[in-house]
Amino acid sequence: MRRLSPLVAVLLLAGCASGPGGGAPGGRGRERPPLPPAAQPTSVIATELAFARAAREEGQWLAYSRFAAPGAQVQWDGASGSAERWLAGRANPPVADRWVPRQAWSSCDGSAVVIVGTSTDQAGNWSRFTRVWERQQSGDFRWAYTLSLPDAELTRARQDSDRERAEDEARGDAILVEAGNFIRAKVADCTPAPTPSATDATDAGGTGVSKDRTLRWDWAPSNAGPGRFAAFSWNGTGWDAVHSEPVAAAGE
């Protein structure tokens, strides 16, 4: 069976036509003020892919520790809380999970990006993940929050697809074309956004907001009941709820 290579591309949707601080150049001899940082979702997606590669090459939990921001939070296998405590002493699996980003939402200034995608473990179990990346003072991005949720429906669908592909390969009469991995990236509107109020996340276990306040998120722990994650992007006049994940209570 012939196999054709997949295509990887990023589809960028901007919330504003130009980055913050744009405008006509000044006259000759006039010194222009420096432009504020602008969104570069592809840079964060590249970091996400480098993170996944490090997990395969160095060990999954070692990579999670190395790419984590100070104070990072995690929701995984019913646990909610400090990533540092959750990762401490955790042995790397023999084969790291493999994951790929599918969609991203960036603040206008690029200081924070929410990425969602899918992952699979060695046994073929699939999950959905949500990750928040924040730009550090060094300019590097580190993840500040990660949520991983098992997806039984996706696992069944992938297993069925793998079984059909194995049958095609056994017959040898098919050409396999692997689907392109398109990553959809959306940038928030660049007009000034108000400071989120305390009532925006009354049941949250944690909240976050980009430096320019155009992207915000909150999450509720699932230790003692159902939890959730939600992200909101500024559209110029209000907040769009761009991503939400309910989290079952621990043990369910």
Q: Where exactly are the structural domains of the chain?
A: 2-15+36-191+198-247
What lies within 8 Å, CB to CB, of 99 at 6+ separation is 52, 117, 118, 119, 120, 129
Which is it for the CA torsion 19, 147, 98, 161, positive or negative? Answer: negative
pLDDT in the model for residue 185: 93
Mark the ranges of the chain whose per-residue pLDDT is less than 70: 1-37, 162, 165-169, 171, 173-181, 197-204, 223-225, 250-252
Q: Are strands 206-209 and 239-247 parallel, antiparallel or unpaired?
A: unpaired
pLDDT in the model for residue 173: 63
Which of 134, 125, 120, 127 is closest to 148 using CA atoms?
Answer: 127
For 88-110, give the DSSP string: TTPPPPSS--EEEEEEEEE-TTS
CA end-to-end distance (rounded Å), the chain: 43
* pTM of the shown model: 0.80
What is the chain's alpha carbon radius of gyration, rounded to the nearest angstrom? 20
C-alpha to C-alpha distance for 211 and 111, rounded to whole angstroms: 6
Which of 77, 126, 90, 81 is closest to 251 using CA atoms?
Answer: 77
pLDDT in the model for residue 155: 87
What lies within 8 Å, CB to CB, of 213 at 6+ separation is 192, 193, 194, 195, 196, 234
Burial of 210 (0-12, 13-18, 19+ CB in 10 A): buried
pLDDT in the model for residue 167: 66
H-helix segments, 29-132: 41-58, 60-66, 83-87
Range 2-15+36-191+198-247 classified under CATH 3.30.1370.30: no
Burial of 27 (0-12, 13-18, 19+ CB in 10 A): exposed
